[in-house]
A and B are shown apart, each in its own frame.
Chain A
Amino acid sequence: MSLLGLVKRSLLFYWRTNLGVLLAVMTSTAILTGALVVGDSVRHSLKMTMTARLGKTNLALVANNRFFTAGLADELAQKLNTNVAPVLFLQGIVANSDGTKRANKIEVLGLDDRFFRLGPGKNPFGEDFSEGIVLNDLLAARLGVTVGDEVVLRIEQPALMSRDIPITPDSDLSIASRLVVKAVAGESEFGCFSLQANQIPSLNAYVPIQWLQEKLDRNEQANILLVADDANESITVERANEAVRKSWQLADSGLELRKPDNHDILELRSRRIFIDEPLTIAAINARDDAVGILTYFVNELRFGDKSTPYSMVTAIGKSGDSKNSITIDIQDDEIIINQWLADDLGAKVGDSLELTYFVVSPMRKLDEEQTTFRIRRILPMQGAAIDPELMPDFPGLADADNCRDWDAGIPIDLDKIRKVDEDYWDKFQGTPKAFITLKAGQMIWANRYGNLTAVRYQLRGKLSKDVEESVTTRLLKEVDPASVGLYFQPVRARGMKAGNEATDFGQLFLGFSFFLIIAALVLMSLIFVFGVEKRSEQVGMLLAVGFPTRLVRRLLFIEGGILALLGALAGTAAGLLYTRAMIYGLATIWHVAVSGSSIQFYAKLSTLLTGALAAMAVSLITIWLTLRKQVSRPAHELLVGELKWQFVKATPVTRGRISLWIAAISSVSAAGLVAMMTAAEGSTAAGAFFGAGALILISGLALIQFFLRMLKDTWSKTLASLAGLGLRNSTRRSGRSLAVVGLLACGIFLVIAVGANRQNPLKNAHRRDSGTGGFAIFGESAIAVIHDLNSKTGRQSLGLDDKILDNVNILQLRLHEGDDASCFNLNRAQIPSLLGVQPEQIREAFRFTDIIEGADKNDGWPLLTHDLTENVVPAIGDYSTIVWSLGKSVGDVLEYIDEKGRAFQVRIIGMLKNSILQGNLLISEDEFVNRFPSENGYRIFLIDAPPGETETVMDILSAGLADFGPALTPATQRLADFSAVENTYLSIFQMLGGLGLVLGSIGLGLVVLRNVLDRRGELAMMQAVGINKIALKRMVLYEHGALCLCGLVCGIIAALVAVGPALSSPAANVPYFSLVLIILAIGISGLVWIWMATAFALSGQLLEALRNE
């Protein structure tokens, strides 16, 4: 026989004990590995979702509210030698045929077969791309429709000009069409397409791009390009952007060069009316003779008590071409008027002329401003003075036959329009009646959309074709297409990054299961110790015959190691079952934690190995630590038997004092922490209190240990009762006792400390500083609302009854779509959605948990308008969004690219506590429109409603805003939905912690069983002297019940300290009832295990033990 042979014999002979150790190792391994594999599964599912979402799409050019020619896709496909799909994308609403079911916030995509080649390959349209609609399966299910059914699709109607500009018509904001469902697209038909990194699938509706272009009067236009990677994965963002630089045309930025009739000029104009500044700069620099033009619609031209209504005025740059252009040789405060105007006003040179006009304001607020000029010259009505081409194609004006047909977005007082005005329009159309310098015009009329309406170039006898070519070449060379929104983004790389940085469910479940793992390890060490103690005489014998201590330890360690290895192997397999159980939980009772997403089981071999090795390592360390003590005793002590050797050596009194010192230091430290953090808030305070609670726990356990030692060694009072004897008995194996007490105390501490942190968002929800901000309703629309919903005119234009909404106030926010950074999105948001808000309107709402240094936490909103460094925009966000979803804190920055391709940073300056604004970052509206001028209108609404009228207000607004696809939710509901995610995590922790406590109870039972079996002889002696079995059981119950009680009390006290902040929080929702139930259940469970173990151990003929003794 060899040493290994001895090990093998021992393993097989003591198979019962070893099986217990193996099962305990298996349990801890299963939980550890299983938790890590949950992480694998979630990560894998997110990756699969991303693949389903993007297909082969590698890069995307998203121009949002800008449109380019779909032909750019062909050019790029050729240059990059890959599939490039043009898409026309809009937000929309879909309802079933009878309108009984509708779905808001639909992503409507106009596409062709190139899109489906980016997907798995199946094209639901088949060969026929002429008509019909394809809904993805989620949308079809939501509407309850199938192939052949009719649906009503309403999509936003993009305007030529931004709808924020007052003059833009505010009607026809959307168009509706009835369509027949041609197919339902599942994953294999690329039905899950979305560019946003979110595992929650979007609601998609696909229509033929040509059909959509015709509907929107956007022939051959698109606003998204999707690029597939090639086989070598060589298509980078840089390469794609370079290809854009070489391929784009003026039409892709909405520009066109034309030669107006009867003019010897070439004119550059924009479909968007106002020309973006980067383009104007390049256009002016394109040729020396370039003349900038800014024509504006003024409400009135007044001289004294006379006025001329509704006229065009042009600000014009200096030009040397007097034939084709007005010569502007005036000062910036001077004006040239035409003769018609002079006659109409009776004005002459030198007189003051006042211009009244609307300027661009938020919510199409009509701010009227005036500027006065001195008349410098009067032009005769001939030549360059009569130039209707100077008026851009203002929608609603340019194609009107007469003034009364004007359909501008501003209110036109028809009473002001005289016959002479009609005659002017008939004869001269939009010919400007006055001219000012370009500088003066840009000062009063330039806006974020542009500062020119045209640029003119003189032909001077040259062929317009040549000049056109020269200007075009110059513009294409000088202008960065990114500045007009033509730049690619690495959507695939971003999606992968979002998935890789996603919430690590492996670590999360490891944290949830931590106590369960510890409980299993403690159980394992208890069983192992029992096994070794049972063989203490053998150990003594081996030492006596000359085995060195380290050899004996090594033999036992090898035994334990083999058990750890086998347990780890079996546990790894069992861990897969644990994972499946957790995934099942996430799909059912805990579905809120993953926002209802489907998680697929997936295990990586590396994870399994890591888990198995980690569990094995921890088990081996536990076994080693156990053995160090067990085999350190002298051989002669072990030889007399384990029951007796413990009395051979006295315990030094100093050991008891060490426990006292530990208790004292821990208590003082805890008190210090509490005192320091009393005034603090947020996570800092919570963490400190939790730490204080943990210190109290340590202190409590140290005190128990001290008490046990004192009872054993120094308490000289004679214990003259069964209860007293039971108490004295509890000191015999203080290590075992403390292990069980500690396990129960830790378990109770964790369960209570975590459970008490549940949030009840409904508490005090009406308060301004609560998570609802005091708002009753949170709303979001699919199509932007451009009107002021608080003004009478705004409400009237939307058919909302102003009287009923009299006490309703609506805070409107702009939305730039990005990644959802709320707890619903498992991915790590890369570029969160931005909301633009006017800080003064949201002041005093919500509560800040943290803010930049030196700022007043009670008044954080005005900080949004503070100037930080250039290209840095201050932002405020919800705590959960910033800390958990983004992994950031106050002071950190995120990188963004604005509509003009300019990089800028968003710097977090404040965090809000548990709010309905979770998922977004808020910046000032001014910054928002500066960065994203094409984002029209408002899509997020925070609505105040009188108490008790929330439902009524929701109904009214839902009906009134039906064409905008509103989604209105009570603010408390939204907050509850967010809190539900966190509360679900707490539930998972509590459940697994509870299982750990169950294991702890089993450990208690094992300790009791072992203790009683060890002392059968003594108990037999007691029975022999007349104490009956019931009394003996009671004595054992006192002994171990006291330990159980100590553990519970210690844990409860520590937990109460830890949850101090939670108890005092207004939103606390401490489930007192369930916590008390848990404590009672653990206590009763402990007593039941004690009783059962005692009954089992004392079963049979006790007196037999006397004989064997």
Chain B
Amino acid sequence: MLELIDVSKEYQSPADTGSVSVLKDITLKIDKGRSVAIVGPSGCGKSTLLNIIGALDRPTAGRVLFDGKDLTKAGDIELAEIRNSKIGFVFQLHHLLPQCTVIENVIVPTLADKNRSLREEVEERAVSLLERVGLKDWMLHRPGQLSGGQRQRVAVVRALINQPKLLLADEPTGSLDEHAAQNIAELLVELNQSEEVTLILATHSIKLAEHMGQVLELSNGTLTERATSK
């Protein structure tokens, strides 16, 4: 369902003194329902790769095919629609809206959808998802009243509210303690299986990566398969 063909990403330096290559000719194919971890040290380009996959950024060269659609040729509005309906994103920092309740935060992605008739269904799905992650009792609380792990679980639910085909998680446990991180990891794996959503996770934690079906290592801009203990 997802294919990257010779994707490269370069950044120009401010004084026109050359460019820095972060991703070099990356080719990748991920089937539906798979779970993939991309590991590498900090600053190796994991987030950049995830942003390109998630249509948040464009490669300098190469193509990104998602469900047969070349994202590099799509316009901003089309990309937004794809992100809204087919891709879910979980960030290292949850980026919850402090002014909204838990359930409101969860349904925020649905507000971009003009089809109002789905509202009730959405709220039902939100409650159901929150219940699955054990946060039903907190749904009327504000993010400020939750722990870090709870907030990240809300972020995960938010990413799933539109029933995406692809779930991208960028260092989802980066700001959590070990216990919370473990909970999130398990949650992601469980959702990958139960929701049949393809999961790509970027992390520097090998321990987290080993929960995934496939581990790829990003180093010097290139992606290589890494053997797992699984």
Contact = CB atoms under 8 A, between A and B. Distances in A.
Interface stretch (B9-17, B186-194, B204-212): B9-17
B97 interface: yes
Contacts of B15: 650, 653, 713-714, 716
B169 interface: no
B70 interface: no
A927 to B, nearest CB: 76
A649 to B, nearest CB: 8
B14 A650 contact: yes
A551 interface: yes
A12 B99 CA distance: 8
Interface in A2-18: 2-3, 5-6, 9-10, 12-14
A441 interface: no
Interface in A352-377: none
A651 interface: yes
B23 to A, nearest CB: 14
A396 interface: no
Contacts of A653: 15-16
B104 A545 contact: no
A712 B15 CA distance: 10
A42 to B, nearest CB: 47
Interface stretch (A104-112, A114-122, A535-543, A1026-1034): A535-543
A99 interface: no
Q: Binding site of A, secondary structure by majority: helix, strand, loop or mixed? A: helix
Contacts of A716: 15
A682 interface: no
Interface residues of A, number: 35
Contacts of B87: 546
Nearest to B78: A548
A551 B108 CA distance: 13
Nearest to B51: A636
Contacts of B11: 648
A1049 to B, nearest CB: 28
A1 interface: yes
B110 to A, nearest CB: 9
B80 A548 contact: yes
B229 to A, nearest CB: 32
A634 interface: yes
B112 A548 contact: yes
A547 B95 contact: no
Interface string A507-551: 000000000000000000000000000000110111111111101
A543 B47 CA distance: 16
A273 interface: no
B58 to A, nearest CB: 9
B118 interface: no
A32 interface: no
B85 to A, nearest CB: 7
A363 to B, nearest CB: 86
B5 interface: no
Contacts of A648: 11
Contacts of B95: 537-538, 540-541, 639
Contacts of A544: 54, 56, 83, 89, 91
A56 to B, nearest CB: 64
B57 interface: yes
A624 B11 CA distance: 30
Contact of A549 (B56, B80, B81): B80
A546 B56 CA distance: 10
Interface residues of B, number: 37
Contact of A1 (B83, B84, B107): B107
Contacts of B57: 634, 636
Contacts of A917: none
A9 B105 CA distance: 12
Given A545-B112, A548-B77, A549-B76, A6 B85 contact: no
Nearest to B85: A546
Contacts of A10: 97, 99
Contacts of A9: 97, 99-100, 104
Contact of B80 (A1, A5, A546, A650): A546
Nearest to B14: A650
A546 B81 contact: yes
Contacts of B100: 1, 6, 9
A702 to B, nearest CB: 21
A185 interface: no
Contacts of A650: 12-15
Nearest to B123: A1
Contacts of B82: 546
A38 interface: no
Nearest to A549: B76
Contacts of B108: 6, 542, 545
B93 interface: yes
Given A541-B95, A549-B80, A1 B13 contact: no
A537 B92 CA distance: 12
A635 B87 CA distance: 14
A548 B54 CA distance: 15
A551 B12 CA distance: 30
A635 B13 CA distance: 21
A147 B47 CA distance: 96
A2 B111 CA distance: 7
B109 interface: yes
Most chain A CB atoms below 10 A, which of B13, B81, B89: B89
Interface of A: 1-3, 5-6, 9-10, 12-14, 537-538, 540-549, 551, 634-636, 639, 648, 650-651, 653, 712-714, 716
Smallest CB-CB A-B distances: 7 pairs: A546-B84, A13-B99, A650-B14, A541-B95, A545-B109, A546-B83, A9-B99
Given A546-B82, A546-B109, A713-B14, 18 more contacts: A1-B100, A1-B104, A1-B107, A6-B111, A537-B95, A538-B95, A538-B97, A543-B56, A544-B54, A545-B108, A545-B158, A546-B162, A547-B80, A548-B81, A635-B56, A639-B95, A648-B11, A651-B14
23 contacts: A2-B111, A6-B104, A9-B97, A9-B99, A10-B97, A13-B99, A537-B93, A545-B108, A545-B112, A546-B83, A546-B109, A546-B162, A548-B80, A548-B81, A549-B80, A551-B112, A634-B56, A634-B57, A639-B56, A650-B13, A651-B14, A712-B14, A716-B15
